[in-house]
Amino acid sequence: MEEEKSNKMDVSYGVENSQDSVKSTNKKTSKNKKSSNKKNKAKKVEAKVEEKPKKKLIQEIEEMKANGDIKSEEFSLKMEELEKILGVDTINPFGTNELDVFERNLKSMSMADLKNLASKVGVNPFHEKPMLKNILRKEFAASNKNNMKNIMPSPQQSIQLDPNNPQHAKTIEILGNL
């Protein structure tokens, strides 16, 4: 029974529980034990820290949308942070779905960066800097034309069935038989 407990793994992070691993492997030196315990604790702390800001960030974005504050610089920065978390910069060749963020990136790009982006997007990179920026803006608008303004989906309300309604009762009965 004691051996079974020591072989269990902490499923939430895929790392053996540091106390159980110490019991099951007595071959480690005391120095290795201390460093592995610190590493395991650090991994767990990092995972918890990453989870909290995501939830808080989404809540803040939702509040700003509800208040109609989507034109502000703060909203733009929060959306940029959310896109980084979601990995939009690896999927989208422009690095973002937000026009404000793309404009800010364009302003800070050198000619070499503009040429690299143009070739990545499939645009002729051999134009002057102002012309190339305009071409990239048009290409961004064309490629994101069908994208939603904000990448977060809104929750949709599900249908509420009333068991007192005879038609709803039949539906509940049919669904219960499935």
Q: What is the 3-state secondary structure (H, E, C) of 70-133?
A: CCCHHHHHHHHHHHHHHCHHHHCCCCCCCHHHHHHHHHHCCHHHHHHHHHHHCCCCCCCHHHHH
Beta bridge partners of 10: 15
The pLDDT score that the predictor gives to residue 149 is 54
Helix (H, G, I), strand (E, B) or coil at 153: coil
Whether residue 60 is contained in a domain is answered as: no
Q: Which two tokens stand for residue 24?
A: 């099951």
Q: 74 and 99 in contact (C-beta within 8 Å)?
A: no
Six-digit token string for 118: 């143009």
Supply the pLDDT for residue 15: 46
Inside any domain, residue 173: no
Q: Using CA atoms, how far apart are residues 74 and 80, in angstroms rounded to an integer?
A: 10
Residue 60 carries which DSSP code? Answer: H
111 domain residue, yes or no: yes
**Domain range for 141:** 87-146
Query: pLDDT tens for residues 51-60?
Result: 555 568 888 8
pLDDT at 128: 94
The pLDDT > 70 percentage for the chain reads 63
d(CA 147, CA 91): 13
Predicted TM-score (pTM) of this structure? 0.50
pLDDT at 12: 47
**What is the tens place of the pLDDT at every residue in 80-116?**
888 888 888 888 888 888 888 899 899 999 999 999 9
Tell me, yes or no, whether 24 lies in a domain.
no
Domain annotation covers residue 34? no
Q: Considering its fold, how many domains does the chain have in total?
A: 1
Domain assignment present for residue 109? The answer is yes
Q: What is the dihedral of CA 132, 138, 142, 146, to 10 degrees?
A: 120
- What residues have CB less than 8 Å from 133, skipping those under 6 apart? 106, 114
pLDDT in the model for residue 65: 84
Within a domain: residue 171? Answer: no
Listed as ranges, residues in the chain with pLDDT below 70 are 1-55, 147-155, 178
Q: Is residue 112, in this structure, part of any structural domain at all?
A: yes
